[in-house]
């Protein structure tokens, strides 16, 4: 699965969860960027689990590339926020998904949240 998102402006914050949080991430362009990946483990007598969240900040003209070989079914999400009025909304530059076996589905949609 490959996804590239273009950003233009300042103050963007992005967060990847689920299967996407473990994907290879790269930010290129001009401006300032940060990328952090954190994992959180929880365990009880009955079960244990680990959740991974990857997030970063982008100010400038940049592209966030996400590349992953997702081998098992699972959910993943990307949330993009901006605390300032955006110069331009982030735009999906490219998205592709190739199934190695079985079914694969890639859906991308933007949801505007009120400020």
> What is the DSSP code string of 30-75?
EEEEEEEEEEEEEE-SS-EEEEEEEEEEEEEEEEEEEE----S---
Question: Is-contact 53 23, C-beta < 8 A?
Answer: no
Q: Quote the CA–CA distance of 37 and 112 in Å, as a whole number.
A: 25
Q: Is residue 36 part of a domain?
A: yes
Q: Is residue 101 part of a domain?
A: no
Q: Is residue 60 part of a domain?
A: yes
Q: Is residue 94 part of a domain?
A: no
pLDDT tens-digit readout, 56-112 = 899 889 999 988 876 666 677 888 998 888 778 888 888 887 766 554 555 554 544
Question: What whole-number percentage of the chain has pLDDT above 90?
Answer: 6
Domain containing 79 equals 2-88
How many domains does the structure of the chain reveal?
1
Q: What is the pLDDT of residue 49?
A: 75
Q: Is residue 105 part of a domain?
A: no
Q: Is residue 98 part of a domain?
A: no
Q: Is residue 112 part of a domain?
A: no
Q: Is residue 46 part of a domain?
A: yes
């Amino acid at each position: 699965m490959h996804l590239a998102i273009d950003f233009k402006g300042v103050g963007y914050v992005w967060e990847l969860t689920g299967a996407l949080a473990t994907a290879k991430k790269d930010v290129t362009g001009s401006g300032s960027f940060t990328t952090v990946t954190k994992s959180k483990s929880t365990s009880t007598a009955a079960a244990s689990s680990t959740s991974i969240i990857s997030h970063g900040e982008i100010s400038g003209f940049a592209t966030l590339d996400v590349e992953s070989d997702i081998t098992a079914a699972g959910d993943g999400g990307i949330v993009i926020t901006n605390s300032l009025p955006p110069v331009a909304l982030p735009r999906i530059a490219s998205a592709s998904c190739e199934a190695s076996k079985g079914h694969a589905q890639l859906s991308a949609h933007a949801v505007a949240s009120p400020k």
